[in-house]
Amino acid sequence: MIKGGGGALFKEKIVMYCSKKRIILAGSEKFVYKFDFPLPVEVHPFARSSVLKSLKEYGIPNIRIGNKDFPFMTENGNIIYDISGYRYKDFDDIKAIERDIKNIPGVIEVGLFPKLTDTIFYKIDKEKGSFEKILI
Protein backbone atom coordinates (compact mmCIF):
# COMPACT_ATOMS: atom_id res chain seq x y z
CA MET A 1 0.00 0.00 0.00
CA ILE A 2 1.21 3.52 -0.80
CA LYS A 3 0.01 6.45 1.29
CA GLY A 4 1.13 10.02 1.73
CA GLY A 5 -0.56 11.88 -1.07
CA GLY A 6 -1.76 14.47 1.43
CA GLY A 7 1.73 14.88 2.88
CA ALA A 8 1.20 13.40 6.36
CA LEU A 9 2.90 10.07 5.71
CA PHE A 10 5.18 10.23 8.79
CA LYS A 11 2.23 10.68 11.14
CA GLU A 12 0.07 8.24 9.16
CA LYS A 13 2.69 5.55 9.57
CA ILE A 14 2.97 6.13 13.33
CA VAL A 15 -0.80 5.93 13.74
CA MET A 16 -0.98 2.84 11.51
CA TYR A 17 1.65 0.92 13.45
CA CYS A 18 0.32 1.95 16.89
CA SER A 19 -3.23 0.88 16.09
CA LYS A 20 -4.50 -2.45 17.35
CA LYS A 21 -6.94 -2.72 14.44
CA ARG A 22 -6.72 -1.07 11.06
CA ILE A 23 -9.59 -0.44 8.70
CA ILE A 24 -8.76 1.15 5.35
CA LEU A 25 -11.57 2.71 3.31
CA ALA A 26 -10.64 3.67 -0.23
CA GLY A 27 -12.28 4.34 -3.56
CA SER A 28 -12.15 1.53 -6.11
CA GLU A 29 -9.62 3.51 -8.19
CA LYS A 30 -7.11 3.12 -5.33
CA PHE A 31 -7.00 -0.68 -5.59
CA VAL A 32 -4.43 -1.48 -8.25
CA TYR A 33 -2.19 -4.43 -9.00
CA LYS A 34 0.62 -2.37 -10.50
CA PHE A 35 2.45 0.54 -8.90
CA ASP A 36 2.29 3.21 -11.58
CA PHE A 37 1.75 6.32 -9.48
CA PRO A 38 4.31 8.43 -7.57
CA LEU A 39 5.87 7.13 -4.36
CA PRO A 40 6.09 9.92 -1.74
CA VAL A 41 9.30 10.28 0.29
CA GLU A 42 9.43 12.76 3.20
CA VAL A 43 12.83 14.46 3.43
CA HIS A 44 14.44 16.90 5.86
CA PRO A 45 15.08 20.19 3.97
CA PHE A 46 18.75 20.27 5.02
CA ALA A 47 19.38 17.02 3.14
CA ARG A 48 17.29 17.68 0.05
CA SER A 49 20.20 17.93 -2.44
CA SER A 50 21.99 14.79 -1.27
CA VAL A 51 18.73 12.83 -1.00
CA LEU A 52 17.74 13.93 -4.51
CA LYS A 53 20.95 12.37 -5.90
CA SER A 54 20.32 9.10 -4.06
CA LEU A 55 16.64 8.89 -5.04
CA LYS A 56 17.59 8.96 -8.72
CA GLU A 57 18.68 5.34 -8.28
CA TYR A 58 15.01 4.45 -7.68
CA GLY A 59 13.31 6.49 -10.38
CA ILE A 60 12.58 10.10 -11.24
CA PRO A 61 12.21 12.19 -8.06
CA ASN A 62 10.24 15.42 -8.31
CA ILE A 63 9.86 17.83 -5.44
CA ARG A 64 6.20 18.29 -4.58
CA ILE A 65 5.12 21.87 -5.21
CA GLY A 66 2.62 23.62 -2.95
CA ASN A 67 1.14 27.10 -2.94
CA LYS A 68 2.74 29.91 -4.93
CA ASP A 69 5.16 27.48 -6.63
CA PHE A 70 7.11 26.87 -3.41
CA PRO A 71 7.99 23.37 -2.21
CA PHE A 72 5.14 21.72 -0.33
CA MET A 73 5.92 21.58 3.40
CA THR A 74 4.61 18.77 5.60
CA GLU A 75 3.14 19.37 9.05
CA ASN A 76 6.64 18.58 10.35
CA GLY A 77 8.36 21.20 8.17
CA ASN A 78 9.80 18.65 5.75
CA ILE A 79 9.56 18.42 1.96
CA ILE A 80 8.27 15.59 -0.20
CA TYR A 81 9.83 14.05 -3.27
CA ASP A 82 7.44 12.02 -5.42
CA ILE A 83 9.27 9.24 -7.27
CA SER A 84 7.86 8.19 -10.64
CA GLY A 85 9.29 6.00 -13.41
CA TYR A 86 10.34 3.33 -10.93
CA ARG A 87 13.58 1.48 -11.54
CA TYR A 88 12.80 -1.21 -9.00
CA LYS A 89 13.54 -4.68 -10.25
CA ASP A 90 11.00 -6.42 -8.08
CA PHE A 91 8.04 -5.05 -6.17
CA ASP A 92 7.63 -8.37 -4.36
CA ASP A 93 10.07 -7.16 -1.71
CA ILE A 94 8.45 -3.90 -0.67
CA LYS A 95 10.02 -4.12 2.80
CA ALA A 96 13.50 -4.06 1.22
CA ILE A 97 12.64 -1.06 -0.97
CA GLU A 98 11.25 0.78 2.06
CA ARG A 99 14.35 -0.09 4.13
CA ASP A 100 16.80 0.94 1.41
CA ILE A 101 15.17 4.33 0.85
CA LYS A 102 14.84 5.00 4.60
CA ASN A 103 18.57 4.27 5.00
CA ILE A 104 19.39 7.36 2.92
CA PRO A 105 20.50 10.05 5.42
CA GLY A 106 17.87 12.78 5.50
CA VAL A 107 14.91 10.59 4.57
CA ILE A 108 12.28 10.84 7.29
CA GLU A 109 9.71 8.41 5.92
CA VAL A 110 8.60 6.55 2.80
CA GLY A 111 4.98 6.24 1.70
CA LEU A 112 5.24 2.47 1.40
CA PHE A 113 3.23 0.46 3.88
CA PRO A 114 4.31 -3.17 3.53
CA LYS A 115 1.52 -5.69 3.86
CA LEU A 116 -0.01 -5.06 7.24
CA THR A 117 -1.46 -7.96 9.17
CA ASP A 118 -4.74 -7.42 10.98
CA THR A 119 -5.79 -4.81 8.43
CA ILE A 120 -9.24 -4.82 6.88
CA PHE A 121 -9.67 -3.16 3.49
CA TYR A 122 -12.97 -1.89 2.10
CA LYS A 123 -13.41 -0.78 -1.48
CA ILE A 124 -15.96 2.02 -1.84
CA ASP A 125 -18.08 2.34 -4.98
CA LYS A 126 -18.99 6.03 -4.95
CA GLU A 127 -21.49 5.71 -7.82
CA LYS A 128 -23.47 2.94 -6.14
CA GLY A 129 -22.96 4.27 -2.63
CA SER A 130 -21.78 0.85 -1.49
CA PHE A 131 -18.64 -0.86 -0.25
CA GLU A 132 -17.19 -4.34 -0.19
CA LYS A 133 -14.57 -6.06 1.93
CA ILE A 134 -11.37 -6.88 0.03
CA LEU A 135 -9.08 -9.77 0.90
CA ILE A 136 -5.43 -8.94 0.32
On the CB side of 85, how many CA atoms lie within 13 Å of its CA? 8
SS (H, E, C) the chain: CECCCCCCHHHHHHHHHHCCCEEEEEEHHHCCCCCCCCEEEEECHHHHHHHHHHHCCCCEEEECECHHHCECCCCCCCEEEEEECCCCCCCCCHHHHHHHHHCCCCEEEECECCCCCCEEEEEEECCCCEEEEECC
Active site residues: 12
